[in-house]
Structure 1
Amino acid sequence: MALLLLLAAPPPASAQATHDTCAKNKKVTVQNNCAHDVTLTLEPLANSPHLFEGRQYTLRPHSHAEFPVCWWTGRLHAPGAPTAEFHVGVDGGCFYMGSNVRQPGLDVPVVVSPHGSPLQGECPAVGCPVQGRCSVAQVPGGKCRNVQEIKVIYCSPGV
């Protein structure tokens, strides 16, 4: 009888909180503002699920793709662009990195930007937009919270 009561008991509060947080439909959005195709190569880390089917995903010019996640850690690589690395946690905490130095041979600028309603902590965009100044190189874990979406934006060079 005790076993039946144990099985019928509601899940612990921590398990319920995780489920509720994941129900908020976090996502990773990748945007191609270039005048050419951008082929993404995925490098999941820490046993992350794949964002998309297969090892590569091609974004057509001036398009975007959204990938729903509960959590994700890894890197996105694209030819001619610095690597974007980021983590979105189950609890909405995140860290992210991108190059904040214009590098020879990497002529496709990339910006990583968190979005949430409202974001909490320090959550600046990182990377180099086409025009304007490059911003911070990384946001360490624990500084940015309540993230519902990470946007990775690839830009046309020299615009």
Structure 2
Amino acid sequence: MATTTAAQKKAEAKAEYDAFLATCPSQKLLDRISDKWVTLVLSALANNGWHDPGDACAGGAKAMRYSELSRRLAGVSQKMLTQTLRNLERDGLVTRTVTPTVPVTVSYELTELGLSLQQMIRGLKRWAEVHMDDVVANRESYDQAK
């Protein structure tokens, strides 16, 4: 009987990921990345915090300070932004850089992995912005029919 190396076991497990299965770890990842604050943080970091009507990332990704992110993300609490950034850092989507200044400067930037996810998130965000009027009209129509 042939022995299986750790790399082979990992490859086999990866090939078996199926988000439709309750035990699949990808379900937890989908839960995390589908969060609205994750979507908005990734979008803010990718396009330097500026809204471009064409949704192009003209300047590419850029590091942003915590306070810049907080201002950009209207309605996010300090606790939620901190938790979101920590989770993104833990997942390897964002890097946190501390610069020893007075006061200390902390900035966040997308990693290569974060940039790859952000490309898809950007499309989702743009779709929501473009189709919001249609969704509102459909909701009103549905509610009136009930």
Q: Same fold (TM over 0.5)?
A: no
Higher relative contact order (CA 8 A, sep 6+): 1
Q: TM-score, normalised by structure 2?
A: 0.25
Q: Which has the larger radius of gyration?
A: 2
Q: TM-score, normalised by structure 1?
A: 0.24
More strand per residue: 1 or 2? Answer: 1
